[in-house]
Amino acid sequence: MERLRTANLPEEMRRVFGFLYKNYTEEELKSVLEAYEFAKLQHAEQFRRSGEPYIIHPLKVAQILAEMKLDTVSIKAGLLHDVVEDTATPLLEIEQRFGKEVARIVDGVTKIDRLKIDQKNFDQKAETVLKMFFAMSQDIRVIMVKLADRLHNMRTMEFQSPETQKKKAKETLQIFTPIAHRLGIYTIKWQLEDLSFKYLYPEEYAHIASLVDSKRADRELIAQEYLSVLQLTLARNGIQCEISGREKHFYSIWKKMNERGKNFDEIYDLIAVRVITNTDKECYYVLGLVHNLWKPIPGRVKDYIATPKSNGYRSLHTTVITHRGEPLEIQIRDKEMHNEAEFGLAAHWIYKEGKMQKYQQTWLKKLQEWHQDYEQGVTGLNEFQKEIQLEDVYIFSPKGELKHMQKGATTIDFAYSVHTEVGHHYAGAKVNGKIVPIGYELQNGDIVEIIVNKNNPGPSLDWLKYAKSSSTRAKIRRFFKEKDAQVLIEEGKDILRQVAKKLQKSMEDLLESDELKQYLGTDRQVNEKDLLLRIGEKEHSAEDIAALFQPPAEEPPPALGQPDKKQVQSKTIVVDGQLGIEVKMAKCCFPVPGDRIVGVISRKGITIHQDNCPNVEKIMMGELVSVQWGNTEQERYMTQVILESNDHSGNLLKSICQSAKERSYQITEVNTKFDEINHMTYRLSIYVKSLAQLEEMMEYWRKQNGIVNVYRTRGEG
């Protein structure tokens, strides 16, 4: 190491090398030193609020990462993580100097740093959580570097304003600590919790600190007594191990007092004893000796070695009544388990060999599935944000297979966790040999058997009331979305069959034709199912499709989803008493003849809005112009209608489209969304001649069974 000239480096950098030198080659260590020197050069003119040179921050981040036993790629990324964000250095230079992996991590951290959280509506933090976890799915080291970055920033928060302190503490407690928990990084989790507690609730923090300090001497004496008794017992039985006592952290004490409504004096388990053995077999032997020494409290013995937590945490927990007559929590684990408990499984990924711990592999796979569900619109941000903070319960199949489920999970969640088809054909469940209702909440150790009925046509939307997992809800919602899609595909086939018969062509020829694809605005790679879906969604008549293959006798129909150009010709709108002025219809409120309208002048021309459109209210009077409807009898105008439904049959969409078709209204697009636990929302784009015609159609829909609300969109653009 002397060859790397570490003697003149800052203490933090020497500590980093102290963690690395046994496991990495001299070449790898030189690249870490180069990263430090490059970061120091780029940050040379920058200082922190404390007055320290800025390089101290990335040095501290690198030290935290080294203590967590992460690889040299992570250490280099920690040293460089602010270079792109805070200096003129481009990301490409990072890649050229230090490689793609380092550049990818730096880029991920930079993107997270640029995310903004709306403090007025902090629930939007879910989107930040989402983006952070998606970054993690590409390379978990992005999040590890960000956690280390946040930890050091929280340690030096005294130099920030009170407003910034509270803002960062709230972000940390509600965003970063759940991530650290899910990754099993206890040593970072508890520090972030206590530091956030200090700035969010300074009076409560000071009070807890004072109470803990006032009784520390007494507790230390008692703890030492317990340690001595236990050490003697284990030594007599030939067990060589490390025994230590630890205090509960301030945030943990405060949270327990609030949740249980207890005073400080009523919190007995302020200290805990940890036994670290050499092997996992010794853990169980020690547990037996502890129970011989002190009486265990029934129901307080937990075996996380046989059934690890979903974040990979392994340990034996027991709470006993000591010879003093007070409860004492004891944790027993071997050295490897202890290392994992402190730093998380992520710290033990062997990137150079491409290996991955199975628990993290499972978690990342679940994350990627959730990302897909989100992109498809079948799960929401808030669902995921809540789910990552839930504890686990441990469930067994009849064959003894262990499954981790979120606390509060029900039998329908278990069914879908086995397989999507098992969930779709769910007919009931037995728990511990007894039939239970669908809403039964699973408990630790339950043995669950799912009853399957293959003749069951599929799930009911009612099941969403009982599904607690975002994954389960996504699968149920996807089923209905695909069911709706099938209805529309059949509609598309009906239309094409009519066209094929009229033109004496095959349906396959029509689907392969450039005319049809160009008309639908698709590329040549789109599959048959998507083409049929688009035709069915947009409700084109057979005549419209057939006209594509014949010389047009008149002006062709409008492009799908776009207003007819004739709608914006001057003959339909009178501007300041004059015709001949080009206008366009606003896509936020979609006015139709019969609506009271106003013109808005902009660089792009005159846009026609409904006069009560919220967007118009934001515009100064000097930008408005008086407009009226002209001769609109021969024109059709696109507008949008929202239908909210609690219909569970899946047939409603077909009925909606059919009723519009019978009245010669053209629906050009249908978007389906799940807004509530058992509600579906359809957004319809529809062409009408007038407000009266639109209201007649909406009134008809309101009277249909299964539709609970019908209204127009307004001011959403």
Residue 284 within a domain: yes
Per-residue DSSP letters for 222-253? Answer: HHHHHHHHHHHHHHHTT---EEEEEEPPHHHH
539 and 667 belong to one structural domain? no
Q: What is the structure's pLDDT at 375?
A: 61
Across 46-60, 373-387, 647-661, least confident range: 373-387
The 3-state DSSP class for residue 392 equals strand
Across 39-53, 123-137, 208-222, 224-238, least confident range: 123-137
Average pLDDT over residues 172-201: 87
In the DSSP assignment, the letter for residue 624 is E
Of the candidates 570, 491, 498, 573, the one whose C-alpha atom is nearest the C-alpha of residue 536 is 491
165 and 259 belong to one structural domain? no
Which residue is associated with the tokens 């699973």?
Answer: 442
Q: What is the structure's pLDDT at 282?
A: 93
pTM of the model: 0.57
Query: Mean pLDDT of all residues in the chain?
Result: 79
Look at 309 and 261; give whichever has higher pLDDT: 309
Spatial contact of 54 and 48, defined as CB atoms under 8 Å apart: yes
569 and 593 belong to one structural domain? yes
Q: What is the structure's pLDDT at 569?
A: 44
d(CA 498, CA 504): 10
Domain CATH code at residue 166 = 1.10.3210.10
260 and 293 belong to one structural domain? yes
Which residue is associated with the tokens 């992460």?
Answer: 70
Domain CATH code at residue 313 = 3.30.460.10
Residue 278 within a domain: yes
Residue 587 within a domain: yes
486 and 513 belong to one structural domain? yes
Average pLDDT over residues 178-194: 86
Look at 31 and 135; give whichever has higher pLDDT: 31
Res 524 pLDDT > 50: no
Task: Read off the pLDDT of residues 81-107 as tens digits, 9 standing for 90 and up.
Answer: 999 988 889 999 999 999 999 999 998
The 3-state DSSP class for residue 433 equals coil
Residue 382 within a domain: no
Task: Read off the pLDDT of residues 643-685 as tens digits, 9 standing for 90 and up.
Answer: 888 775 557 777 887 788 777 777 877 777 765 445 678 888 8
As for how many domains the chain has, the answer is: 5
What is the extent of the structural domain holding 498? 479-549
Res 262 pLDDT > 80: no
581 and 698 belong to one structural domain? yes
151 and 10 belong to one structural domain? yes
Res 365 pLDDT > 70: no
Residue 632 within a domain: yes
Q: What is the structure's pLDDT at 41?
A: 92
Domain CATH code at residue 638 = 3.30.70.260
The 3-state DSSP class for residue 92 equals helix
Residues with Cβ within 8 Å of 30's Cβ and at least 6 positions away in sequence, in order, are 4
Categorize the per-residue pLDDT at 631 as very low, low, confident or very high, splitting at 50, 70 and 90.
confident
10 Å CB burial of residue 267 (0-12, 13-18, 19+) is middle
426 and 316 belong to one structural domain? no
Average pLDDT over residues 300-317: 85
d(CA 682, CA 710): 10
Q: What is the structure's pLDDT at 411?
A: 94
Average pLDDT over residues 29-48: 91
SS (H, E, C) 583-606: EEECCCCCCCECECEEEEEECCEE
Which residue is associated with the tokens 């071997």?
Answer: 334
Spatial contact of 524 and 655, defined as CB atoms under 8 Å apart: no
520 and 570 belong to one structural domain? no
Other Cβ atoms less than 10 A from the Cβ of 172: the count is 24
Res 563 pLDDT > 80: no
Which residues are identified as catalytic?
A: 85-86
Element (H, E) at 683: strand 679-688
Residue 578 within a domain: yes
Element (H, E) at 639: strand 637-645
Res 248 pLDDT > 90: no
115 and 255 belong to one structural domain? no
302 and 430 belong to one structural domain? no
Per-residue DSSP letters for 507-566? Answer: HHHHHH-HHHHHHHT--TT--HHHHHHHHHHHT--HHHHHGGGS--SSPPPPPTTS--GG
d(CA 93, CA 77): 13
**CB-facing half-sphere around the CA of 433: CA atoms within 13 A:** 0
Q: What is the structure's pLDDT at 481?
A: 75
Categorize the per-residue pLDDT at 13 as very low, low, confident or very high, splitting at 50, 70 and 90.
confident
Residue 468 within a domain: no
Res 591 pLDDT > 70: yes
95 and 149 belong to one structural domain? yes
d(CA 168, CA 157): 9
Domain CATH code at residue 444 = 3.10.20.30
d(CA 585, CA 600): 10
Residue 527 within a domain: yes
